[in-house]
């Protein structure tokens, strides 16, 4: 897909205040510091559009970006950020889970996993939560530039094995590096194929009011 325009739209602390769900959207989630904001910037080829930081906990709100004037990318706060108060953590958890389960135009969630580490309980639990709620998702392994391809493959395989314990069918996986733009075409192709499946919510509402 050709990215012609990418602009910051709005930040919100709750899904209720997010823009009317008139366009398809794709969101990025994962542990704090896993590389969500960097990946979004890499996909749209615009450094600094989504704010990144070397210290975790940078993204604290639901951030919408409008792409090609026709669809939205959403940068979410990370889960599992240890260095914040329990109250904050609870609040973020609520913000994220209500966004994921309630947002009507969310077409697909990309779950980011650090390609360098062994399967983490918090990621596996989060993915189980997605399964229980029927949320469509794909896995994105990040920071593959930090190690050789063999190590990345072995880590991805470990993750697959951990998922296989609870899932019959594995989700799609992408190997990425925000530094080398690795995985960019893969993810954009995925989005391009899914966009046409979006049915504007407004039409649905109209149909309900005025059945033909």
Coil vs helix vs strand at 20: coil
**Between 21 and 110, whose beta carbon lies closer to ligand GTP?**
110
By a kind-dependent CB cut-off of 5 to 8 A, residue 56 interacts, out of Mg ion, ligand GTP, none, with ligand GTP
Contacts of 113 (CB under 8 A, 6+ apart): 30, 34, 123, 139, 140, 141, 142, 159
Euclidean distance between CA atoms 30 and 43, whole angstroms:
17
- Least distance CB 37 / Mg ion (angstroms): 3
**Which span (59-67, 83-91, 148-156, 176-184) binds Mg ion, by CB under 5 A?**
59-67
Question: What's the closest the beta carbon of residue 171 comes to ligand GTP, in angstroms?
Answer: 19
**Minimum gap (Å) between residue 73 Cβ and ligand GTP:** 13
Distances (CA, A) of 179 to 100, 169, 173: 28, 31, 19
Q: Which residues contribute to the site for ligand GTP (CB under 6 A)?
A: 30, 32-38, 52-54, 56-59, 77-78, 142-143, 145-146, 177-179
Task: State how beta strands 62-67 and 71-75 pair.
Answer: antiparallel
Select the binding partner of residue 115 from Mg ion, ligand GTP, none (C-beta < 5 to 8 A, by kind): none
Residue 181 contacts residue 42 (beta carbons within 8 Å) = yes
Q: Write out the two tokens for 2.
A: 């050709």
Q: Select 67 or 163, whichever has its Cβ closest to Mg ion.
A: 67
Q: Could you say which of ligand GTP, Mg ion, none residue 21 binds, taking C-beta under 5 to 8 angstroms by partner kind?
A: none
Closest separation in Å from C-beta 176 to ligand GTP: 6
The smaller minimum CB distance to ligand GTP, of residues 103 and 174, is found at 174
Cβ at position 5, least distance to Mg ion in Å: 21
Residues 111-170 that bind Mg ion (CB under 5 A): none
User: Which residue shows structure tokens 């983490």?
Assistant: 120
- C-alpha dihedral sign at 130, 34, 76, 45: negative
32 is in the binding site of which of ligand GTP, Mg ion, none (Cβ under 5 to 8 A by kind)? ligand GTP
- Near Mg ion by CB under 5 A: residue from 15, 26, 37, 81: 37
Task: Provide the residue count of the chain.
Answer: 212
**178: closest CA among 150, 135, 132, 146?**
146
Contact set with Mg ion (CB under 5 A): 36-37, 58-59
């Amino acid at each position: 897909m050709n990215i012609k325009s990418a602009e910051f739209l709005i930040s919100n602390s709750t899904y209720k205040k997010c823009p009317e769900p008139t366009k398809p959207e794709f969101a990025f989630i994962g542990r704090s510091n896993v590389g969500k904001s960097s990946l979004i910037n890499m996909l749209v080829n615009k450094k600094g559009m989504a704010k990144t930081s070397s210290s975790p906990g940078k993204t604290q709100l639901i951030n919408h970006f409008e792409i090609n004037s026709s669809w939205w990318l959403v940068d979410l706060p990370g889960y599992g950020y240890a260095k914040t108060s329990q109250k904050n953590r609870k609040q973020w958890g609520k913000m994220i889970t209500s966004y994921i389960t309630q947002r009507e135009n969310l077409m697909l969630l990309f779950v980011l996993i650090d390609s360098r580490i062994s399967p983490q309980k918090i990621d596996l639990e989060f993915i189980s939560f997605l399964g229980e709620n029927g949320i469509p998702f794909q896995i994105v392994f990040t920071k593959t530039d930090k190690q050789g391809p063999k190590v990345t493959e072995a880590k991805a395989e470990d993750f697959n094995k951990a998922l296989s314990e609870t899932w019959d069918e594995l989700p799609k996986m992408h190997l990425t590096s925000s530094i080398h733009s690795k995985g960019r075409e893969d993810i954009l192709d995925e989005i391009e194929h899914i966009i046409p499946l979006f049915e504007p919510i407004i039409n649905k509402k109209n149909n309900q009011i005025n059945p033909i």
